[in-house]
Amino acid sequence: MISARRVKKRSCFRKFIKIYLIVNLVLLVFAIIADLIWFQGSGHPPPHLKVPGLFVPGQPISGTVALLVNGAIKPKKNHPRYWNNLSLMYCTLRSLGFETIHVLNSDGTSPESDRLKRAFLAFFPYGKTEDSPRDLDLDGKDDVDGPATRENFQATLHAIGSSIKQEDRLFIFFTDHGKLRFQRFKPYAVVRLWGDEISGDDFQDILSEAIPPEIWVTVLATQCWGESFLKHVKRKRTVLMAPGRPNWIWSDHDYSLFPYLFCEALIQIRLKTGQPRLEDLNGDGFVRFCEAFEIARRRDHAPEWPIMWINEDGSSIPFPF
């Protein structure tokens, strides 16, 4: 005979399963409604390109060079917000007066489809893919230099290093997927590139080989595991910034959160409305990159805990870093 206690346990288990299924069904229905209302696909052009006169070209800052990278992995992993982050940073640097900006985006100038049109809740990929625009600021000119492959990333940094002058400054921006790998049970972080990836140790080696040691470099790595990735960079005269601490970054459909706040702090304008947002911490009339990091960190209420540190050598950090 089955004991009363066992019958009671089975009854409780059935009730638990019913409640569990009902709760998950409600959550699924809510998720579907939320996806239909708030996440409407690639939405080109993104919000920052819809506000007239938002980005006014600034006076050139002599000796400023940037390398912007969206590795994207493959079409089904390449969310529209990564292109938006890339475009936003490009427009921001142009408005600040950066002289030279190199852009590596997914498959480069290939006409093949390379990104998602949409993702469920802006996270789970599904549906058709499309070709990424190559005009990042809608001025009618292509701004993408080539694919974000490991080979091209390394070649581009070496090309920059061979032409950069002693007083120049270099800014490197990653927007992409990051991942934690394991080798002999020891974890290490990588940034994903188009069909490939590089580890923090790889990046340290490439950066040290390509860029002369007297050049100041600022790196903003906005992929997941960004802090772990940058912890391997030991090169002196390097400012290192990462929101992915200890692991994930946060995003909405349109942008990753931290680069959006960072760019808004640099240009001191609300990106979706064009209204002023003055937060110059030292009152000198220009928000430097380290200031912009601190402003964005204070405004970032997601659980990603941005971190910045500097590999110093005794020299002062040059403007605009």
* For residue 259, pLDDT beyond 60: yes
Asked if residue 218 and residue 274 are part of one domain, the reply reads yes
Please write the tens of the pLDDT for every residue from 28-45: 676 667 666 666 666 778
- Average pLDDT rounded to a whole number, residues 71-93: 95
* 317 is a domain residue: no
* 319 is a domain residue: no
CATH at 77: 3.40.50.1460
Asked if residue 83 and residue 28 are part of one domain, the reply reads no
Asked if residue 31 and residue 134 are part of one domain, the reply reads no
Between CA 211 and CA 158 the distance in angstroms is: 7
Residue-number span of the structural domain to which 101 is assigned: 45-311
Asked if residue 287 and residue 204 are part of one domain, the reply reads yes
Asked if residue 273 and residue 146 are part of one domain, the reply reads yes
Asked if residue 269 and residue 155 are part of one domain, the reply reads yes
For residues 146-162, one letter each, b for 16 or more C-beta atoms within 10 angstroms of the residue's C-beta and e for the rest, the string is: bbbbbebbbebbeebbe
Query: Which secondary-structure segment (H or E) carries 4?
Result: helix 4-38
* 141 is a domain residue: yes
Looking at every residue in the chain, the average pLDDT score rounds to 90
| pLDDT above 90 as % of the chain | 68
Please write the tens of the pLDDT for every residue from 216-235: 999 999 999 999 999 999 99
Asked if residue 79 and residue 2 are part of one domain, the reply reads no
Residue 35 has a pLDDT of 64
* 108 is a domain residue: yes
| pLDDT above 70 as % of the chain | 91
* 155 is a domain residue: yes
Between CA 306 and CA 44 the distance in angstroms is: 29
178 CB-contact burial (10 Å; exposed 0-12 / middle 13-18 / buried 19+): buried
Closest CA to 176 of 94, 256, 263, 260: 256
* 321 is a domain residue: no
Domain count, the chain: 2
* 12 is a domain residue: yes
* For residue 2, pLDDT beyond 60: no
Asked if residue 97 and residue 55 are part of one domain, the reply reads yes
Asked if residue 306 and residue 195 are part of one domain, the reply reads yes
CB neighbours of residue 135 within 10 Å: 14
* 210 is a domain residue: yes
Q: Are the C-beta atoms of 173 and 92 separated by less than 8 Å?
A: no
CB neighbours of residue 272 within 10 Å: 15
Asked if residue 173 and residue 32 are part of one domain, the reply reads no
Confidence class for position 83, pLDDT limits 50, 70, 90: very high
Confidence class for position 12, pLDDT limits 50, 70, 90: confident
